[in-house]
Structure 1
Amino acid sequence: MKLLSLLTAGFLLMSSEMTFGQPKGNSQPGNPPDRARMMQNLKAHPNLEYVSGGHERHKLDLFLPKEESEPLPLIIWIHGGAWQNGSKEGCPPLRKGYTDHGYAVASINYRLSGHATFPAQIEDCKAAIRWLRGHAQEYNLDPDRFGVWGSSAGGHLVALVGTSGGVTEYDVGDYMEQSSSVQAVCDFYGPTDLIAFVQTPGYTNHSNIHSPESKLIGGLVLENEEQATRANPIEYVSEDDPPFLIVHGDKDPVVPINQSELLFKAMKSQKLSVHFHTIHGAGHGRPGFDAPELNEMVLKFFDSTLKGNSGEKEPAQAITSESTAQAESRPDPNERFRPSFEKILIRADKDNDGKISAQEFKASPDLFKRLDRNQDGYITQEEHNQLFGIKD
């Protein structure tokens, strides 16, 4: 408790990334499989380089069930972290046992905003998808059954992958003969319209130069509207987009729910297949996103879009649903005093490098030493997550 008080005073926080429970029990959707058994039943291919001679972040991990003989549908996880943190190591589809349900699972890294500004991030995501299609036969993947799933900044990128399937300007590099389109998109609370985002009451601090959105596009959103518009998934919505499942909490303090509402409305106007699920009382990934009912909803979505055997396209539907975050899933009372990591960076990260230096840290030097777990002179989101035992 003393450490928690110190953390509050020092503005260190619970992660803005989605929290998932540790796997346990059997492989039903709401009860992920035993990790040791699951790992025995899959083939892991870590750190595959999807851009030859590229950046150190141009790597992905691929996981395949051992016993499958037919070409596999693939779910690609794209991590969040405000486009400036995070990594492929946190892979919810793997932890939730999707390989036990007959899927291959990939988790990709991409260049962060500290490495390169937009469109580097979407270029990398599309390059990874093309690489996976180019190696589909080698890894027993079905190139016609690719889905993407991501949260927060990852939600933004999967939504952009889904809506920009026919946009060629973001396809650069190798395997250009392969498509970067996908057949299903699961977007957890991703930004979709940066201009509307930064003007939303209660979220206007995202319009300043230290915000993740400004760092992504390389300048203030409202002073660089053309570049911001290029980054908006909503800009590319068209009649050939794949089915979407969109999930957002109505108490999200980081990404306003209007981002998902706007995307749903745009897709509905194009008569696309889209399901928008609101979790009442849920924040930015918690509580509510670890509920068995939501796990089952996501699995059924991918089963219906990637495993349908009829050969006929189902009629497009725009539907909404809702649930309520259960009280036992809510954070402890002290959490309301913990600002998001993004908000900490906005206030403290003066050099825009996505981490907090000793010079930028305003609390005591002793507290900084306790938080700087690897003693490299910086506090990162990963170190914060390790401290609180939070998964990406």
Structure 2
Amino acid sequence: MSFTNVTIRFKLALIFVSVLSLGNSFSQSYKGVTGVRDTSYSTKSAFKYDVKLHPSIKIVPEFHFNSVKEKRNITYCETEKRKLNLDAFYNTEKANSKRIAIIIIHGGGWRTGSREQHYPMAQKLDSLGYVCFTPEYRLSTEALFPAAIYDIKAVIRWVRENATAYNFDPNKITVLGFSAGGEMASFMGTTGNMPLFEGTSCNLEAKSNANAVVDIDGTLSFVHPDGREGDDSKGISAGTYWFGYSKAENPKLWEAASPLSYVSAQTPPTLFVNSAVPWMHAGREDYIQVLDKNGIYSEVKEFEGAPHSFCLYEPWFDPTIQYIDHFLTKVFNK
């Protein structure tokens, strides 16, 4: 990592610490921490909206492969209030070498959505020889940023600690996410093993770095001019709920929470799979410039005309799986 990158990351880390510990002229709002699960975003609700413009789309159902075994509701971390769970999808067929692990993070604006939405993706990828994990994490109805970041870091550490049990290589862990999950996947890739974002509990003996990232329509920056996150003109935005501050109230926190702020020579190879919604790509080209400068491999796959929730439907689900498989095969020489 260059001296410049170290300096930038250090300054942003200091900003983040000062924002959380000292605050600013605006008090942090906990209005969105209702303790009540928000179910407004689901595959069915997204389909009901998207099918109006895309009448031929079909929801991808769960698969049932003889070679795919599942364990659901495995506790990966226990907070003061409750247990946090994940699901494991693993292949029973013998392999000549250790497999690649994929952690799949669901979307929903850091506030809604569920890991069950990506069971079909986990099952399909598992049938191709991967080991997949679908975790839950604390949403903004339960806890503000960076609680969700701490949770996914704990997931990566738990997954790495269980490499032998599920027969995968602990140095071949991919973090994949859709929408808000895509943003967090990229954040995992850019802040691996950074003490500031590790949290203080659960599986702390293992490393939290990702070895590859797949970002499916997740923003790279909360403050990029091409983005739209933080527009509270018609209602409180997802980002404002997550941070407890609007962008106007605390822009430095929004910047310090952006993956683009930390991309560096330490960032792993990254695949971007995008819809036709331009603001969901905010910061992508700037991000790739840093990867290119440091000789880090990346790919961009974009579906013309596709809605934001494209990866939940055919005709985009199968090619998305193919893009992921081809990318990881190249990165890990699978």
Letter in 2 for 1:300: H
Report how many residues are paired: 280
Q: Distance in 2 between matches of 1:152 and 1:77?
A: 11
Among 169, 179, 187, the alignment partner of 1:160 is 187
Structure 2 residue aligned with 1:191:
219
Q: 1:190-241 CA deviation, whole Å, 9 max, x = no partner?
A: 1111112xx5487673577710010111110122122112210011111021
- TM-score normalised by structure 2 residue count: 0.75
Q: 1:305-339 CA deviation, whole Å, 9 max, x = no partner?
A: 23x16xxxxxxxxxxxxxxxxxxxxxxxxxxxxxx
Q: Distance in 2 between matches of 1:141 and 1:202?
A: 38
Structure 2 residue aligned with 1:132:
159
Q: For the Cα contact (< 8 Å) 1:247–1:277, is it kept in 2? A: yes
Q: Distance in 2 between matches of 1:16 and 1:155?
A: 21
Is 1:257 aligned with 2:281? yes
Residue 188 of structure 1 deviates from its aligned partner by 0.8
Is 1:106 aligned with 2:133? yes
CA 1:129–1:136: 2 relative to 1, 3 Å = same
Superposition pairs of residues 368-387 of structure 1, within 5 angstroms: none
Among 239, 244, 267, the alignment partner of 1:218 is 244
Among 263, 272, 281, the alignment partner of 1:246 is 272
CA 1:289–1:229: 2 relative to 1, 3 Å = farther
| 3-state SS of paired residue (2:170) | strand
Is 1:170 aligned with 2:197? yes
Structure 1 residue aligned with 2:324:
298
Superposition pairs of residues 4-83 of structure 1, within 5 angstroms: 14=47, 21-22=59-60, 35-36=63-64, 38=65, 40-52=66-78, 55-56=81-82, 58-68=84-94, 70-83=97-110
RMSD over aligned Cα, in angstroms?
2.8
Q: For the Cα contact (< 8 Å) 2:108–2:180, is it kept in 1? A: yes
Q: Distance in 1 between matches of 2:171 and 2:299?
A: 22
Q: Distance in 1 between matches of 2:307 and 2:232?
A: 17
- TM-score normalised by structure 1 residue count: 0.64
CA 1:178–1:267: 2 relative to 1, 3 Å = same
Structure 1 alignment gaps of length 5 or more: 1-11, 24-33, 310-392
Name which of structure 1's ranges 271-280 and 172-181 shifts more when overlaid on structure 2: 271-280
Letter in 1 for 2:244: G
Among 196, 207, 227, the alignment partner of 2:253 is 227
Name which of structure 1's ranges 131-140 and 184-193 shifts more when overlaid on structure 2: 131-140
Q: Distance in 2 between matches of 1:20 and 1:262?
A: 34
Q: 1:259-283 CA deviation, whole Å, 9 max, x = no partner?
A: 4333323333433211122322222
Q: For the Cα contact (< 8 Å) 1:195–1:222, is it kept in 2? A: no
Q: Distance in 2 between matches of 1:111 and 1:174?
A: 14
Letter in 1 for 2:286: L
Q: For the Cα contact (< 8 Å) 1:194–1:232, is it kept in 2? A: yes
Q: 1:149-178 CA deviation, whole Å, 9 max, x = no partner?
A: 111001101010111114221112122221
Q: For the Cα contact (< 8 Å) 2:90–2:132, is it kept in 1? A: yes
Q: For the Cα contact (< 8 Å) 1:35–1:95, is it kept in 2? A: no
Residue 100 of structure 1 deviates from its aligned partner by 1.8
Residue 88 of structure 1 deviates from its aligned partner by 1.5
Q: Distance in 2 between matches of 1:100 and 1:288?
A: 18
Structure 2 residue aligned with 1:279:
303
Bigger Cα Rg: 1
Structure 2 alignment gaps of length 5 or more: 1-44, 51-56
Q: For the Cα contact (< 8 Å) 2:274–2:303, is it kept in 1? A: yes
Residue 181 of structure 1 deviates from its aligned partner by 0.8
